[in-house]
Amino acid sequence: MDLRALREEAIEATSRALWDKHGFVPSEDSDEWEAEYRRQFTRLKQQGGSATPSPAPAARAPAGAAAPEPRWPELSGTLEQRRWAATIRAERLAAIPNEPMRAWLASAWTRAKLWIDTQDVPIATLLQRLQPQYADYRRKTAERQKARTDETQAKAAAAAAREERLRAAGITPANLVELIDASERTDPAPIKAKIAEIAVDGRHLRIFETSDPARLLVKEKNGAEQLDYGIDRDAGLVADLATFAKE
């Protein structure tokens, strides 16, 4: 066997060995890939290049259980290309034991031509070539997940801080509604900015500033009943409402 053919066979053997070990193939720039390649090259050279490529093991369903039929994304292309590629895709994906990578490849390769053009490329080699793209996908997915987690934690922390502020000030929705109910009623005045919104015991109240600095406007919905009424503007009530409304 000539040196070029020996190198190609060593690359194939390296991909298979690393795939069997990890479920994916590290980059050719990695120390692990280089070390495995040297082992395979030496072994094949000693054997005279007699190794026979074998496909990666197919994922199997648990004994006694029927494997669910996967529903992969629709392929694009001509009708003939889609039919041809669907068969190729099913066979190739079945040979990938790494479920996350299988799902990624199915969603990333929706052009029928991609499957047709690479049908003769050994699966281990194909996965090795795609490893940088898959690694980038996993990195971005992890970043998005971390961003969502951070956002959720930040919202939870803000909500906890708000609850602590309200607890320390003795402010509750029920107390605020009691203060509004106890306020002197007035005629409504032209509406301005909203101060707060409260929901308690089936009542939904929105409290607004008005053009009259001495009055507030309350828009209340209680079941099917909707009321608009004014109340005297009390500085303490306004301060408590503003604290309640603050995120």
Please, where are the H alpha helices in 111-172?
Answer: 112-117, 123-169
- 20 contacts 36 by C-beta, under 8 angstroms: no
**How confident is the model over 111-133, as a mean pLDDT?**
92
pLDDT of 108 strictly over 50: yes
Burial class of 108 by CB neighbour count within 10 A (0 to 12, 13 to 18, 19+): middle
Residues above pLDDT 70, as percent of the chain: 86
Burial class of 246 by CB neighbour count within 10 A (0 to 12, 13 to 18, 19+): exposed
pLDDT value at position 86?
92
Q: Which residues contact 73 (CB under 8 A, 6 or more apart)?
A: 106, 107, 110
Which has the minimum average pLDDT: 48-62, 92-106, 222-236?
Answer: 48-62
Q: Give the model's confidence band at 117: pLDDT under 50 very low, under 70 low, under 90 confident, else very high.
A: very high
d(CA 170, CA 243): 11
Nearest CA among 95, 98, 112 for reference residue 53: 95
Angle between the N-to-C axes of helices 173-182 and 235-245, in degrees from 0 to 180, rounded to the nearest 10: 150
d(CA 165, CA 243): 8
Hunting for tokens 């919104």 — which residue is that? 197
Predicted model pTM: 0.50
In angstroms, the Cα distances linking 28 to 18, 36, 96, 114 are 11, 10, 20, 23
Beta carbons within 10 angstroms of residue 111's beta carbon: 15
d(CA 229, CA 208): 11
- 16 contacts 23 by C-beta, under 8 angstroms: no
**How confident is the model over 136-155, as a mean pLDDT?**
90
Kindly report, residue by residue over 72-96, the tens digit of the pLDDT: 889 999 999 999 999 999 999 999 8
pLDDT value at position 61?
43
Cβ burial 146-169 (10 Å sphere, 16+ → b, else e) = eeeeeeeeeeeeeeeeeeeebeee
